[in-house]
Amino acid sequence: MSFKVSGTELFDAHFLKQLQKLKVGGITADEIEEQRKKIRYPEYLGAYKVEEEGKYNNFKNVDGAKNDKGHLGDPTFKNLFPQGSKVKTTDLSPNFGTEIEGVQLSELSDAGKNDLALYLETRGLAVFRDQDFRDKGPDFAKKFGEYFGPLHIHPVSFAAEDHPELLVTYRPAGGDERYDNEFANRTGAYGWHSDISFEEYPASFSFFVALEAPQSGGDTVFIDLREAYRRLSPTLQKFFETLTVIHTNYYQNQFAKLKNYIARVKADYFTEHPLVRTHPVTGEKALFFSRAFTHSIKGLKNTESDAILGFIEQHVTGNPEFQVRAAHKGTDARSVIAWDNRFLLHTATVDFLQHKTPARHHFRITVLGERPYFEKIEDKENLHSNGSANGNSNGHSNGH
């Protein structure tokens, strides 16, 4: 499989002409005010403001590895799943991803949040049902996220009204007229990525809160990059551990210009991260391959880089044995999906466009993590006591 950098098609004149002709990938900036009149939670779809252009510089998180709340988590998760509570857990796969009922995120104590951090760092993905999170308001959401670390302000994506820290994803309600328009010139709208991998300090945790969602479809699909690393031969593992990958948001910014989105952070990043990274709490190794933002491998010729990245793309995205689907299950499910971006890849799906559905409207709290690094487990002297042993148990030490 040859590798093509996501977004380079924007410099193809014919493709660009078709893109401007069709309404692909949601609404433009000019349509936000009209859409706000039609949705249940208009406070979570703010209009772009001219005065915000270039206003922000994203926070760093220099001590992110040391200050990760997972270090404080209890490996039995007794504060997340208190004894005697009516908690039901259903694993999405044996190795990662769990659906949870009976835990109210908004009511967690600090100790419960520490356990949640560690749980996400071991199970990777948690889907919480029947949450009151969306009704607590943007201020609450911001404060909740800040417990885990500095929050990211996205350069160009939609955001909540007066809360740039709360990224918003939005596709309008509609019927089958959306299908032909979306897929007139492409066969899929998915885009595998780890959130904001183009940043110097990419995301640790993401909390994705459903405001409105189709009854079925529109799922988020996840890939476990720990297992993708483990499946490689030892020879290839060692080779990949020597490589550095360049991540960029340049093409995302170009697309935003076409949609008239104002850039809150005016910067095109070309950021270097190791292809294999070490988790600061569990010590586990994982590939760090963020497809949508991956540009090239540092120091290699283009043909060499493309060949290696093409292999990785096929290896990572083509194996259903380390993929799971997190279903939103409609507006009334009141779902909140949380995950650790340091070893999970994900994409939205738009398999509902042939049907009449409400809007697919969510907001995301994005916590900045540490700067990615590679460190061999056997060389790590002060590995956290919840480290590799806890990670290999995949978060099941609470007995669920």
Q: What is the pLDDT of residue 264?
A: 96
Q: 């010729």: which residue's tokens?
A: 301
Three-state secondary structure of the chain: CCCCCCCHHHHCHHHHHHHHHCCCCCCCHHHHHHHHCCCCCHHHCCCCCHHHCCCCCCCCCCCHHHHCHHHHCCCCCCCCCCCCCCCEEEECCCCCCEEEECCCHHHCCHHHHHHHHHHHHHHCEEEECCCCHHHCCHHHHHHHHHCCCCECCCCCCEEECCEEEEEEEEECCECCHHHHHHCCCCCCCCCCECCCCCCCCCEEEEEEEEEECCCCCCCEEEEEHHHHHHCCCHHHHHHHCCCEEEEECHHHHHHHHHCCCCCCCCCCCEEEEECEEECCCCCCEEECCCHHHEEEECCCCHHHHHHHHHHHHHHHHCCHHHEEEECCCCHHHCCEEEEECCCEEEEECCCCCCCCECCEEEEEEEEECCCCCCCCHHHCCCCCCCCHHHHHCCCHHHCC
Domain 8-398 part of CATH 3.40.50.150: no
- Say what the pLDDT of residue 398 is: 42
Phi/psi of residue 148, nearest 5 degrees: -90, -15
Alpha-carbon distance of 337 to 207, in angstroms, equals: 6
Do 368 and 99 meet the contact criterion of CB atoms below 8 Å apart?
Answer: no
Neighbouring residues of 139: CB distance < 8 A, sequence distance ≥ 6:
163
The pLDDT value recorded for residue 22 is 63
Which tokens in the block code for residue 37? 């009149």
Separation CA 258–CA 250 (nearest Å): 13
Which tokens is 253 given?
């910014």
Each residue's pLDDT, cut to its tens digit, for the chain (400 residues) gives 579 999 998 888 877 777 766 666 678 899 999 999 999 999 999 999 999 999 998 789 999 999 999 999 999 999 999 999 999 999 999 999 999 999 999 999 999 999 999 999 999 999 999 999 999 999 999 999 999 999 999 999 999 999 999 999 999 999 999 999 899 888 999 999 999 999 999 999 999 999 999 999 999 999 999 999 999 999 999 999 999 999 999 999 999 998 899 999 999 999 999 999 999 999 999 999 999 999 999 999 999 999 999 999 999 999 999 999 999 999 999 999 999 999 999 999 999 999 999 999 999 999 999 999 999 765 544 444 444 434 444 554 443 4
Domain ranges, ordered by start, for the chain:
8-398
Q: What pLDDT was estimated at residue 400?
A: 45
Strand order through the sheet with 220-224: 323-326, 220-224, 344-348
